[in-house]
Amino acid sequence: MIGEIFKAKDDVGSELNNLRQSKVSTERVGVNRLAVLGRIADNRRLKFSARQQVTKIFDRDLLGELIQEISLEKSITDGRRRELADYERLYASPAVRIAATITENYQAQLDELAESMPNMSHAIRGVIAPELSVNNFKVDRGFLIQPLLLLGPAGCGKSYLASALSTMMNTPTLEIKAETQQSSASLCGSAKHWSNAQAGSLFNLMCKSHVSNGIVFVDEIDKSRGTGDYPFINSLYALLEPTTATKFQDNACPEIQIDLSQLSWIFTANSTDAIPQPLMSRLNVIEVAALKKSEARNVAFTIFKKQCEIYLGPETKIEICSSALDVLQNESPRKQTLMLRTGLGKLLLEKSQKLNSTHLPSMTKEAPSRMGFI
């Protein structure tokens, strides 16, 4: 195991050296560009320990040959040039990676989160905590759970939980609003034969990330309205299966396979009526009850403390009054976050030390939009 790890540790350097020493690349492509790519990847090399799981995200040898092949083409179209740029972005990232490790006290952090959100306790303590315990018992796999669907009414804290988990676990996160997805192109890229073809968000995530794992948070999957030949939901089937997720191919960059099997998927929905059965069969469904006022009050206080730490620093002595919590307990965690941020801004302008209800904006329901002239 240790020998394999140290071999993997040197993959980035050795593969880059082979590419740099290629006569073809020296004569036709130019040493400078490959040297720059080499330095970037070398600087991102990771040190592995015997406990850390090593994942080969893509084949650097194959990608290097592909970059050379495209660069040597006599006439490169704009589309091919764009494809080359995407391949080079991936090449500049680590081919062999470990997971973003979770903190040793993650169980205590999850317990604290469960206490602040009692309606999420079953999801946190009954599903997430056990899975993390198993996945990190012998090998450090970081945050890795089976595809999870948080099912419940609007305003019960589903989105807040997903956001809190990504922050707590220090894991790269991709957030997707399913309602705005008209096709699979934004996730998996658009077909390369289109003049405006672009790589999808999953490809971009792996180019920017230096680790093997991450969280993909898909909000309101039940509101996905994608139609046509490539609906958004259909693209999820292969991504949620570990065996096929190891061979992901972006539509705009289809000549290289990327291992996405270490990604954790978290979905939210208000209802399962509009979710196809093939997708439901791939998800671990957790029903979440609506927040009671006392629970919403605790969530508001937790959000207040976190926002104070983020915007004002951990040493701040600003307090929140009961009058403010009385208002916030009637709102969803999403609205609480918006109201508290505005409230803190007003408080700072007044140079006050206590946030009360007068600092909070009123969150009225939006009137339906109208078209025409008055």
Please write the tens of the pLDDT for every residue from 137-161. 878 888 888 999 999 888 788 888 8
Residue 117 phi, psi dihedral angles, 5° rounding: -130, 75
Q: How far apart are CA 339 and CA 329, in angstroms?
A: 12
**pLDDT value, residue 372:** 38
Mean pLDDT, residues 236-250: 94
Query: Among 29-43, 272-286, 340-354, which stretch is predicted with the lowest mean pLDDT?
Result: 29-43
Instruction: Choose between 246 and 113: higher pLDDT.
Output: 246
**What's the pLDDT at 33?**
54
Percent of the chain with pLDDT over 90: 35
207 pLDDT higher than 50: yes
Alpha-carbon span 131 to 110, nearest angstrom: 12
| pLDDT reported for residue 196 | 72
> Is 148 in contact with 269 (CB distance < 8 Å)?
no
Domain map of the chain by residue range?
2-98, 106-287, 293-359
C-beta separation of 58 from 254 below 8 A: no
Task: Check whether 94 has a pLDDT greater than 60.
Answer: yes
* Of residues 112 and 282, more confidently modeled: 282
pLDDT given at position 29: 43
pLDDT score for 365:
53
Residue that wins the pLDDT comparison between 364 and 193: 193
Residues 20-28: contacts with CB within 8 Å, 24+ apart?
A: 22/68, 24/68, 24/72, 25/68, 25/71, 28/68, 28/71, 28/72
pLDDT band of 168, cuts 50, 70, 90: confident
Task: Return the H-helix or E-strand segment holding 158.
Answer: helix 158-168
pLDDT at 112: 86
CA separation, residue 67 to residues 33, 35, 81, 296 (Å): 11, 13, 10, 53
Indicate the average pLDDT of the chain: 81
| Range scoring the smallest mean pLDDT among 14-23, 195-204, 284-293 | 14-23
Q: How far apart are CA 348 and CA 69, in angstroms?
A: 58
CA dihedral 279, 283, 289, 291 (to 10 degrees): -100
Binned at pLDDT 50, 70 and 90, residue 46 comes out as: low
Q: How many Å from the N-terminal Cα to the C-terminal Cα in the chain? A: 74
**How high is the pLDDT of residue 38?**
53
- Pseudo-torsion of CA 154, 159, 160, 162, nearest 10°? 150
In this prediction, residue 289 carries a pLDDT of 85
Question: Does the domain formed by 293-359 have CATH 1.20.120?
Answer: no
In CATH, the number for domain 106-287 is 3.40.50.300
Distance CA 259, CA 77 (A): 29
* Mean pLDDT, rounded, for 86-95: 91
**Structure tokens of 83?**
């494809």
For residue 109, give the H/E element and its range.
helix 106-116
pTM over 0.85, yes/no: no
Residue 53, pLDDT above cutoff 90: no
For every residue of 184-241, DSSP letters joined together read: SHHHH---TTSTT----HHHHHHHH-SSS-EEEEEE-GGG----SSS-TGGGHHHHTS
